[in-house]
């Protein structure tokens, strides 16, 4: 199975800050990565797919980059509604696997 | 609009079975795969398996291979996930999620809480 390792596990930030979350795959997954946002008590929401493609309706302050084994989710200017947990996920092979999550908290 | 509506919360005893439904609307049911993902309390996301609504074929995570069955009813655009021999650590929110080409998960159902308790 492909392991997806996210870092950090949590980050404290203020509104307006730039936040970066890293996801490392245990093998080359080309660009088969998606990022999801999950708020408490809610289902995850797709933000970015194919490593860098913004899902329709997602604000442009979210961006993704990377290829191979290392991927990054960036929030360019954190907004109050962005405080949530973020997960990466690989679709290179079965079983599909997720990172352990990164909680973005208010500083 | 595309919607996935799941069945309500369940409380089951250890050793029992549970069957959760996920009714799709707003798109052609057989055009997209459906995944099941679960999330234990305070934990991350765990992929369970996928079903192709066109032919009903499924692929499961090895961990669930012997206890999970995913089925579909094309007449009602509904997929089902049945888990048998429930254990305490199966307590979780179970989500269905649509995907095109079995790749990205979008959208997700609202989740179904399954509590295993004696």
Task: For residue range A91-103, list pLDDT tens digits in order.
Answer: 999 999 999 999 9
Check residue A68 and give its pLDDT.
98
Q: Report the alpha-carbon distance of residue B69 to residue B48 in Å, rounded.
A: 10
Which secondary structure element, helix H or strand E, spans residue A65, and what is its range?
strand A62-67
Instruction: Count the Cβ atoms, other than its own, within 10 Å of residue B19.
Output: 13
Q: Report the alpha-carbon distance of residue B56 to residue B71 in Å, rounded.
A: 6
In Å, how far is A44's CA from the nearest CA of chain B? Answer: 7
Q: Do A89 and B105 touch (CB under 8 A)?
A: yes
Q: Do A46 and B62 touch (CB under 8 A)?
A: no
Q: Report the alpha-carbon distance of residue B32 to residue B30 in Å, rounded.
A: 6
Q: How confident is the model at residue A106 (pLDDT cuts 50, 70, 90)?
A: confident
Task: Work out the average pLDDT over A38-65.
Answer: 98
Residue A38 has pLDDT above 90, yes or no: yes
pLDDT digit string, tens, across residues B47-106 = 999 999 999 999 999 999 999 999 999 999 999 999 999 999 999 999 999 998 889 999
């Amino acid at each position: 199975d492909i392991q997806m390792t996210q870092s950090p596990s949590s980050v404290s930030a203020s509104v307006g800050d730039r936040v970066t979350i890293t996801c490392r795959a245990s093998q080359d997954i080309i660009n088969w990565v998606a990022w999801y946002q999950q708020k408490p008590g809610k289902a995850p929401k797709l933000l970015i797919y194919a490593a860098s493609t913004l899902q329709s309706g997602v604000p442009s302050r979210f961006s993704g980059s990377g290829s191979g084994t290392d991927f990054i989710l960036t929030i360019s200017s954190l907004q109050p509604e962005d405080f949530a947990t973020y997960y990466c996920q690989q679709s290179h092979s079965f079983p599909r696997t997720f990172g352990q999550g990164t909680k973005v908290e208010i500083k | 609009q595309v919607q996935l509506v799941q069945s309500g919360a369940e409380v089951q005893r250890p050793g029992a079975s549970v069957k959760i439904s996920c009714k799709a609307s707003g798109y052609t049911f057989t055009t997209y795969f459906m995944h099941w993902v679960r999330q234990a309390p305070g934990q991350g996301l765990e992929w369970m398996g996928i079903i192709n609504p066109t032919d009903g074929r499924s692929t499961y995570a090895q961990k669930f291979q012997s206890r999970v069955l995913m089925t579909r009813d094309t007449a009602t655009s509904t997929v089902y996930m049945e888990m048998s021999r429930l254990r305490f650590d199966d307590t979780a929110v179970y989500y269905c999620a649509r995907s095109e080409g079995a790749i990205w998960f979008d959208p997700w159902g609202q989740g179904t809480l399954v509590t295993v308790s004696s």
